[in-house]
Each structure stands twice: as C-alpha cells, then as structure tokens.
Amino acid sequence: MGDSRFVRRSSKLELPGLERELSLSQALSRRDILKIAGYSSLAAFLAACGVTSTTTTNTGTGGSLNLGSNESDPGPKKGMEAIVAAFTAANGGTKVKLNTVDHGTFQDQISSYLQATPDDAFTWFSGHRMRFFAAQGLATPIDDVWDSVKSNFTGAFAESVKGDDGHFYGIPRDYYPWCVFYRKSVFAAHSYKIPTNWDDFTALAAQMQKDGLTPISMGDKDGWPAQGTFDIINLRLNGYQFHVELCAGKQKWTDPRVTAVFKKWADLAKYYQAGLAGTTWQQAADMVVRKQAGMYLLGLFVSDQFKAAGQDALDDLDFFPFPDLGTQYDAEKALDAPIDIWMVTKKSPTLNADLAQAKAWMTFWAKGSTQLTMFQNAPGLIPTASDADTSSYSPLQKKAAQIISNAKRITQFFDRDSRPDFAGANGMQSFLLTYLQNPNADTTSLQGKMQSFWDSLPPEK
Amino acid sequence: MANRANASTTPAPAGAAGAGELVVTRQRRRYSRLTRIDKRLMVLMVGIPLALDLILIWGPTVASILLSFTNWSGIGPLTPANVVGLKNYQTLFFSYLFFWPAVKHNVIWLAFFTFISTPIGMFFAVLLDRELRGGRIYQSIFFMPVVLSLVVVGFIWELQYAPNDGFINNFFGLVKSHHIVDWLGDPNINLYSVLIAASWRQVGYIMVLYLAGLKSVDLALREAAKVDGANEVQTFFRVVLPVMAPINVVVVVITAIESLRAFDIAYIVNRGKNGLELLSTLITNNSLSEASLVGFGSAIAVVLLVVSLVPIMLFLSRVMRTLQ
C-alpha cells in the first residue's frame, strides 16, 4: 500500500522533499556510435535525395528514455538504479534519465504531474488508482507489450493491470500480501496452533489474553491499517465481487452485509490493545517484536520492522493467511496483495520519440531476472513474474509467493480499490476510527454517514 | 519615499519654512523636483510590490473563489459544465460531516490560546521582568520551543504521548496498571493534547512579546503608582497593562491568526482526522492530495478567508488609527 511507505518515512523525521536524480548514462559502445553514425548518414542521404520518408522505424534500442520513479527509499532506489544500468547495457545503450521523487510527494502531485510534462514511463499502483488515470486519458495502453509478456504472469496479475476499457495499461513489478504475522518462538512457547477457521482464531486470541499477551496488535493512527482488516473480513464474508462493487460504489454502505462485517470485526476488536488510535503501525509491530502481542494483520512490509530489530527477530517472523469464516467465499482465498506497476504516460513531450524505448523498458520489467534485481535490494517487494528464480527467497518470501499463487482473487487494498477522496483521512479512515472507538455499538448511523458521504462526492469522470 | 530621499539631497531648502510667498511656487517646484528617474523609480517601487501582490496573493485568492463554484477535479480543462453554483457551499454547510467539527475545533483552538496560553505567557513575562536570579536561563528555556517549527514540535510530542511507549503514560504508571490514555487517538481529548503541545511553543512566543512590552513601560509610572499606594496587582492591571495597549493588540491578532492557520501539528499527528479536523487540514485533504476535490476544497478555503478577514481588518484599522 502506497501510504504505508509515506508514513514510514515520516516517522523517521524525514520531511517530504523533492529529490531528483540523474543516472549515469552508460558510455556508448563503439558499435552504437557506428550505428548512430550509420543511421544519421542514411537519413542525410534520404533527405538529400528529397525523399519524403517517415523517420526510420524505431526499434526501441538505443535512443533515450525518461522515467519517473517514486522508489525513494534507499533499498528500492538502489535496485532501480541497478536495473536502469542493466537496461541500458541490454538495450543498445539507451540513455535513461531516472527522476526519483519522494514517495509521498509523488503521490500527492500525481494529477498535475501526469497532466503537465511527465516522463515517458512512471511507477504507480494497480487497481482503481491505475484505472482512474487510464480512464482520464493520461496513460498509454500497452496491449502489444502485454501480449508478448502475458505468459509470464498469472491471471490475477493480468486482471490487475486491465483498464475499464479492456486495454492493458501496466506491467506488474512487485507485490506484498496482507496476512496475520506472529513470532514462531511465541507460538512454540505456549504451544499455540495456527488457526484455520474463525472459532479457532478467536479461541486462540482468548487464550493469548489469558496468557498475558495482547492477542492482536493494531496501530491505526495513520488510518489505513484498519482498512486491511475491513477488506479481509468483507472478502471472506461477502466475497470478492461484493467487495469490489462496494469499493466502487455499486453497492450501498448501508447494506446489511456491511453491518455483518462490522459485527464480525467486533469479535476481533475486543482483542486489540488499548490506545490503538494513537499507535502507529510501527509501534504496533514493535509490540509483536517485543513479544507483548501475539498476532498482527499487516502487509509483508512489516518485516522491515523485524529486520531493524535484528536477524534473529526476522528469522523468527512467520505468518498465516487470514482464517476461513465458513462461507462459500472461503474458497476464493482472496486477500489484499497490493501490486506496484510501471505505466506509460500520455503527455510526455518526448514520448513520440521514446515510445519504443518505453515499451522495451516495460518488456524488460516483465522478466523475472529484472524483478529479482529489485527484490535483492528490497526484500519486502516480491517479484510478480512467473519465471523469477525463487531459489534466493527466504522461507517467508517463498510462503508469501505461495499464498498469492493459491489466491483465486487478489484485491489491491481499500485505498487502491476505492476513490482516494472516499478512502482518505476525512473519509473512510475517520469512519473506521470512529467504529473502533466502540466496536460493539450499533453501526447503523455510521453506515448511513458512509453512504451519504459517498453520495456527496462529485461523479468521477 | 523616492520623493523624500531626493528632497533631502537637493541643495535647495525645502519649502516647509512656511513663508507665505513660497506657497504658490511650491506646488510647481515640488512637481518639478520629481525627475524622470524619480518617476521611474516610483513606478518600479510601487509597481513591483503591487504586481507581486496581485499575482501571488490576489490572483490565487480570486481563483480560489471562482473555483469554489465548480466541481473541478484538477484534471483536464475547466469547462462550463464544471460550474455547479453554490452546491459546494450547500454540501459544506448542510451535509459535510467534517465541516462543523472543524469549525468547532478552530474555535476551541482560539479560546485555548486566548484564555490559557496567552495568560501563562504573560505571567512568565511578568516573572522574568522582575530580574530573578537565573532569569536569563529561564527565559532561554521558555523561548527555546519558539525556534522550533510546529512540525518538529509535533514529532517531539508524538513521542511523549504514544500510548504504550510514550513517556507520559509510562511516567504515570498508566501502562503498568492497564489504564492507558490514548492522548492522540481518543477523539474526546486529542485536540487538547495537541493544544498543550502547540501552547508549549505559543507561551514562549507570547512571553517574549510581553517581555519587550514590559521593558518599554516607563519606570516612573510604576513609582507613581506605588506612591499612590497601589499594590503590585493593582499596578499591573491598572497601570502597566493599559500602557501596553499596542502590544495587547499585536498579541490578540497573533493569537487569532495562529488559531485560524493552525495546521502543521494536526497534520503531522494524523493528517487532521479523528477529532483533529481543522479548516486548514480539510482544505489540504480535499484539494491538494490525491483526492483532488479542488472545487470543494476551494469552498472551504473561501470560508476560512472570510473568517480570517475579521481579525486582519481589526488589526489594520488599529494600525491605521495609530498612524494617524
């Protein structure tokens, strides 16, 4: 989830700032120079002959390419630079200009960025956020690229980069599942068993409470972590289709099925720690690290927090998928697994010249080897390509990949599947915080507020 | 300005001598004293600030007002189809869930600054004005937070207020006894938690303003009051405070403006939600973020503008009066 990284950074006292960076363009090889010289003399010859010809077909090699990247954290940024270097070497010396912009700033400025003079290709998120800008005509469809690489992706990934118009707009580059995390040593010490259904899950939570642990950790100060719990309960209880339609406003928030989600959630919410609304996700994770809390529903990026506590803590980290609720939708094994993607812009002033290079870049990113380079620098981001070599994965990462490939349906996360104005701070984040104040209270009026807020929003064009 | 500077450098005596026969020629002479360079300078010195004012302040202001009548999302061209009339204001006043809470929070902010932070700042100033031993040290300590931006103040206090790891809950043993107070998460108290943090800085600011004011009060006045048999409290409220009237006006205006533009600390804590809604955070969350409800955000901005004009006009009219 995009916001997660923004907040993570803020907590380290780094203020959002604009950060631009030029990658070192690889020196042109002698052959490239000869090639360029050859083309230009040919062009000069044609011009001299007065032949009106279209420019030579751009094969996508050589040339130049501008990229806008939001991977501003040190690890992913290093990975991106390594990939740019590899691309230049493999693609006939394409001169790549990589503009890295702080993650939060990039997100806040995305509309004006895409409308003004964007780079040729840019990093973004799949789901509603991708479809929205595609529908606004601010992205270029890349169906031809997708046709050539689709065999390397599962159907769920294909679905995630398809626009409302049926065209394909992105290349999935990494993802991270949302699961229930725990420490193996804590489970071993109390001989807890991994719960697979709701009764076992709540019984385990009750047992943990008796044992003096906070059964389930929750830190919702930033507003979005609770949305992950809403997503998974809704998916298990009401199914993928209902969840997606609810996020898109095609179902009502006053629906009794939504009420059922809040009822179910209340069974879990009583096991959260006090003060969750003032606790950041990092502080909530630290409670699990310190063995004060038993379980924690979050994205795989929680491993960063364990890594910071030391390799022992990271090796002790494990997770299980959210338990079944005994509905027909259990079989979907759906879960939130936000996917990061590359997209091609529409209004880039250089896109005419660079389109073939941009497509070559997309094709390059569809390779497992490319995605592994990123993964080695950012272990929380799992490759999406089927041919990615999994031998370097840790058991945790292997398991994450396994869970995803078992899932029949993948959702992106509430704030990627719904409109940003609805999902944001003065919207669903507030509503869920209100709910968590008193989970056992009647939610009728709260659901009414959600629906009337949705209704008050202007139509999305 | 140019005129006066030029006059002082010209060798001819200024016509202010008051001689009757000069009155007739004075007009023409003063006129002619403005050389072409003077006129150009004047145009530049008035024109540049005026242009900047128009472009940077009035342009965006008028644009905001106009945008507030549209439902523009910030994407694509602004067309007549985007004009929705007063709909944004209607939504804002009658159905937007976060507007009236935000107004209430701004008012509480103003009241807290006026009735709690300002008197404390004034009190510190009076104490420090008495040349206590180590007064300089106290003064530095109280003033220290003022040099920090509210963003940094927010970060500092977040750590103190954290429910399980924070200093305050641990210091009072609330974590051990399982009576955790969620200072920043409980919507009933988090506004006051934030106000304490903001006052930590505001008090020092007010203190310095009053210290400067107190230093400028004529000692003779205090002595006269003493001779007349007034005690310390009477002297302060009946003599010193009225003399500091100009400082009081500045403090009142600063308090009002700080309360209306309150933003940074609430935004840092939780982006202005769950009890920390403020007009300024609503504007940001609606129009500057990915939400891109530019028209609606502009309507909130216009409301804030109208409200802000009140203290600003009060201040200006006061300044104008003292100038006259």
- So what's the pLDDT on residue B27? 52
**To 5 degrees, how large is the angle CA A101–CA A247–CA A380?**
40
For chain A (length 461 residues), average pLDDT per consecutive 10? 39 34 40 49 44 50 91 86 94 92 83 89 91 90 94 88 93 94 96 95 96 95 94 96 94 96 96 93 93 95 85 93 94 92 94 92 94 85 89 88 87 90 91 94 94 87 60
Token pair 């109390």: residue: A190
Chain B environment of A136 (Cβ under 8 Å):
75-76
Decide if B162 and A279 are in contact by the 8 Å CB cutoff.
Answer: yes
Please list every residue in chain A whose beta carbon sits closer than 8 Å to the beta carbon of residue B95.
452, 456
- The label of the residue with tokens 């007002």 reads B65
Which of A285, A343, A353, A281 is closest to A313 using CA atoms?
A285
Torsion of Cα atoms, A295 then A297 then A300 then A303, to 10°: -40
pLDDT at residue A58, rounded to an integer: 63
Of residues B73, B163, B281, nearest to A274 (C-beta): B163
User: How many Cβ atoms sit within 10 Å of the Cβ of residue B194?
Assistant: 30
Closest-CA distance, B213 to chain A, in angstroms, reads: 37
CB contact under 8 A, A136 and B97: no
Q: Does A275 touch chain B (CB under 8 A)?
A: yes
Query: Exposure pattern of A85-108 as b/e (b: 16+ CB <10 Å)?
Result: bebbeebbbbbbbbbbbbbbbbbb
In A, residues 75-114, which contact B (CB 8 Å cutoff)?
A: 107-108, 110-112
Query: Which helix H or strand E contains A413, and what residues bound it?
Result: none
Select from A119, A268, A276, A148 the least CA-distant residue to A208: A268
Half-sphere exposure of A105 (CA within 13 A, CB side): 16
d(CA A197, CA B244): 72
Alpha helices per DSSP H over A136-271: 143-149, 155-160, 184-189, 198-210, 225-247, 256-269
Q: CA nearest B287 in A: which residue? A: A421
How far apart are alpha carbons A433 and A79 in whole angstroms? 36
Q: Provide, as residue numbers in chain A, all residues whose Cβ is less than 8 Å from the Cβ of B282.
A: 426
Give, as one character, the DSSP assignment of residue A29.
Answer: P
- Contact of A447 with chain B, judged by CB distance below 8 Å, is answered with no
pLDDT of residue A459: 79
Neighbours of A348 (CB within 10 A): 23
> Which chain B residues are Cβ-neighbours of A111 within 8 angstroms?
73-75, 290, 292
B101 touches chain A (CB under 8 A): no
**A346 close to B (CB below 8 A):** no
DSSP B196-257: HHHHHHHHHHHHHHHHHHHHTS-HHHHHHHHHTT--HHHIIIIIIHHHTHHHHHHHHHHHHH
Other Cβ atoms closer than 10 A to A255: 15
B3–chain A nearest CA distance, Å: 45
Residue whose tokens read 């010195």: B45
3-state helix/strand/coil string of B80-146: HHHECCCHHHHHHHHHCCCHHHHHHHHHHHHHHHHHHHHHHHHHHHHHHCCCCCCHHHHHHHHHHHH
Query: Quick one: pLDDT at residue B324?
Result: 66
Contact criterion met (CB < 8 Å) for A426 and B285: yes
Out of B95, B151, B274, the one facing A430 most closely (by C-beta) is: B274
Token reading at B56: 């940077």
Q: Identify which of B98, B162, B186 has the shortest CB distance to residue A283.
A: B162
Give Cα A141 distance to the centre of its chain: 20
**What pLDDT score was predicted for residue A30?**
46
B117 CB near a chain A CB, below 8 Å?
no
Residue A55: per-residue pLDDT: 42
Length of chain A: 461
Q: Please report the sign of the dihedral spanned by the C-alpha atoms of residue A231, residue A236, residue A240, residue A241.
A: negative
Nearest CA among A172, A107, A163 for reference residue A139: A163
Asked if residue B269 lies in contact with residue B191, where contact means CB atoms within 8 angstroms, the answer is no
Q: Do A136 and B75 touch (CB under 8 A)?
A: yes
Token pair 């990627």 in the structure block, residue: A416
- Say what angle helices B99-112 and B190-215 make with each other, to 10 degrees: 40
Total residue count of chain B as it appears in this document: 324
Q: Do B183 and A278 touch (CB under 8 A)?
A: yes
End-to-end CA distance of chain B: 18
CA distance B130 to B82: 63
Q: What is the pTM of this model?
A: 0.80
In order of A202, A257, B272, the CA distances from A441 in angstroms are 20, 16, 24
In order along chain B (324 residues), what is the average pLDDT of each group of 10 residues?
A: 41 44 50 79 92 93 93 83 90 91 94 94 91 86 90 92 91 88 92 95 93 88 89 88 87 88 91 92 87 89 91 79 71
Rounded to whole angstroms, the Cα distance separating A371 from A80 reads 10
Interface touch B186/A461, C-beta < 8 Å? no
Give A116 to chain B, closest Cα distance, Å: 10
